[in-house]
Chains A and B, each alone.
Chain A
Amino acid sequence: MDIVKLSAVEIKEKILKKELSATEVVKAHLNRIEEIDKDINAFISINKEGALEAAEKVDEKIKNGEELGALGGIPIALKDNIVTKDTKTTCGSKMLENYRSPYDATVVEKIKAQDGIIIGKTNMDEFAMGSSNETSFFGPTRNPVNTNLVPGGSSGGSAAAVKAEEVALALGTDTGGSTRQPAAYCDIVGIKPSYGLVSRYGVVSLANTLDTVGVFGRDVSDAALMLSAIVGYDEKDSTSYENPTHLVVEKDLEPTEYIKGMKIGIPREIYLDQIDKRLIGVMDKVIKVFQSLGAKVEEITLPHLEYGLSTYHVISAAEISSNMARFDGLRYGYRAKEYSTLDELYINSRNEAFGDEVKRRILMGTYYLSMGLGREYYEKALKMRTLIIDDFNKAFKDYDIILTPTSPILPFQLGKLKDEPLTKDLTSIFTAPVNLAGLCAMSIPCGYVDGLPVGLQIIGDRFKEMNIIKAGLAFEGGMKNGI
């Protein structure tokens, strides 16, 4: 048995049936990392001792006949912007190269409480600003599908680690598509939950009104298992939601059963000029799969979708500039060696430790928040956000899910768009509006074109995670059955 090829659900079952020990599972994955991560660079740090210790505890519980948590013995990776007490949390930046958090994020506490095994922290675009993992201070991550390609970003390390069978599950974050786009590029499943479903306490903020913690798995059931383990109200995050949604999936139904009675909308606005034309053919096939599963598929309109990317750009930059002010070289993070005034301490520390992309976004955000300069754009973007939300609200009155490609462009060669931040921003055109509206969405593999993986985005209404999970299970099953 090749342990690393097992799904998270299978690992858990085998541990419960005592066919495998958690220690065996963890060792197999650590060996896999040892063998392959030099080619992928998915990890910034590995917590070997901690992982083996946690595995021993799980094995002890099994031995004593104690009940095991929902993630019992499953190896899990965390994006390195989720704080952990045991290991450094770098955010992929020189600024936090040696930062050690004095506390665990709420999602980390939840994983530990449910016997999940945290293997290590994954590479990412610096402070989650990027969509290719090329802005990391620790070097780019490579796509396990083809190491010449970027893995997507900003949670590219987490997506690559899951695809490369270094872990079974991983957490990322998703502010404008940072879980869904790397999931698409690495040919795995990624879910961005509704805003507020998962606590953000201990997740280093990028843009507070858009940030969510996302999950990765190699199939829908695995991703759903990861998500169900971390949801819930947290008094430490006032934006978290005490939600009655129980993410319980009926297992092993026929694909048609999962999708029964669902109405699906395809926004006509997705067929834009900048879209890779090969994706149009893929979308046609996707629509046929859902139709043959018995779903009703209709064209819909989201008239303000075309303003989504610009709206996202302004709002996220503004929130970024405000969030990044905390990195001042005083309390934590990098401090410049040379300065003679307090102002120089701030400027030199920030200048020496932030990469170009981070500086670009802070600068633009500061512009949008400055009276008399870009403030007007910010105020318009806040209003545009309302119209985008209204569009989705109208659509979800009649439809259960909405489908789009996850990214309008396919995975690209490493280095190809390195100096073209504006082109790279385009990858978020279908994902960012979902964050603006606080909705949930999944990226699910839907085949390859010319050797490049394609992700389908399934969007659901706020807190209707079950709709996207069911649709994902139906689609996955339909594809497996060769529909």
Chain B
Amino acid sequence: MVTKEQVDHIAHLCKLKFAEEEKERIIHEFNVTLKELEAFNQIDLENVAPTLGVNKHVQRLREDIVGPSLDRDEVLENTVEKQYGYFKLLKIVE
């Protein structure tokens, strides 16, 4: 079972916030889903290796040659605030 405190904790981790009534709905959905996941316990997974991806091929390497990259001005066009060719942020260090 998921508690309201846990929802608050996770919401903080992923930088989201929820109204109280939304939390109720989320807790309900969580609990329905987690109950379904209990079915995993029907299967002995002790000696099963996890799958992290389906591509088993060897990653290739290439020579470290500088190539064309994205245009700085074009990249910065998508930000709200920029200065001196950089993204502008709030002052976070005093």
Contact = CB atoms under 8 A, between A and B. Distances in A.
Among B33, B53, B62, B75: residue with most chain A CB under 10 A: B33
A385 B51 contact: yes
6 contacts: A102-B74, A331-B87, A341-B90, A364-B30, A364-B33, A383-B49
B29 to A, nearest CB: 7
B83 interface: no
A227 B40 CA distance: 36
Contacts of B51: 382-383, 385-386, 389, 436
Contact of B10 (A195, A370, A382): A370
A239 B40 CA distance: 29
Contacts of A209: 52-54
Given A363-B7, A370-B10, A385-B51, A102 B75 contact: yes
A239 B56 CA distance: 9
Contacts of B17: 347, 351
B66 interface: no
Interface string B10-53: 11011111100010001001101110110110010100111111
A257 interface: no
Contacts of B59: 238
A241 B55 contact: yes
A313 interface: yes
A331 B89 CA distance: 9
Interface in A235-286: 235, 238-239, 241
Interface of A: 98-100, 102-103, 195-196, 209, 235, 238-239, 241, 304, 306-307, 310, 313-314, 321, 324-325, 328-333, 335, 339, 341-343, 345-347, 350-351, 354, 356, 359-360, 362-367, 370, 373-374, 377, 379-387, 389, 421-422, 436-438, 462
A132 to B, nearest CB: 17
Among A195, A333, A335, A364: residue with most chain B CB under 10 A: A364
B45 A383 contact: yes
Given A331-B87, A342-B92, A383-B49, A366 B43 contact: no
Contacts of A341: 90
Contacts of B54: 195-196, 209, 389, 437-438, 462
Contact of A99 (B13, B78, B89): B78
Contacts of B10: 363, 366-367, 370, 373
Interface of B: 2, 6-7, 10-11, 13-18, 22, 26, 29-30, 32-34, 36-37, 39-40, 43, 45, 48-55, 57, 59-60, 62, 70-71, 74-75, 77-80, 87, 89-90, 92
Contacts of B33: 313, 364, 422
B62 A235 contact: yes
Contact of A332 (B29, B79, B89): B79
A366 B77 contact: no
B14 A321 contact: yes
10 smallest CB-CB distances across A and B, nearest first, come from: A438-B54, A382-B50, A332-B78, A102-B74, A383-B48, A385-B51, A366-B14, A346-B15, A383-B45, A335-B80
A142 to B, nearest CB: 27
A304 B48 CA distance: 13
B78 A333 contact: yes
Among B7, B30, B80: residue with most chain A CB under 10 A: B80
B37 A314 contact: yes
B26 A381 contact: no
Contacts of A364: 30, 33
A102 B71 contact: yes
B73 to A, nearest CB: 9
Given A330-B89, A382-B52, A386-B48, A360 B29 contact: yes
Contacts of B53: 209, 239
Nearest to A367: B10
A190 B37 CA distance: 30
Contact of B70 (A103, A321, A385): A103
Among B7, B33, B51: residue with most chain A CB under 10 A: B51
Given A307-B43, A381-B40, A387-B43, A366 B71 contact: no
A379 B60 CA distance: 28
Contacts of A359: 16, 18
B90 to A, nearest CB: 5
Contacts of A304: 43
Contact of A421 (B6, B29, B60): B29
Contacts of A99: 78
Given A209-B52, A377-B37, A325 B14 contact: yes
Contacts of A382: 50-52
A367 to B, nearest CB: 5
B15 A350 contact: yes
A383 B50 contact: yes
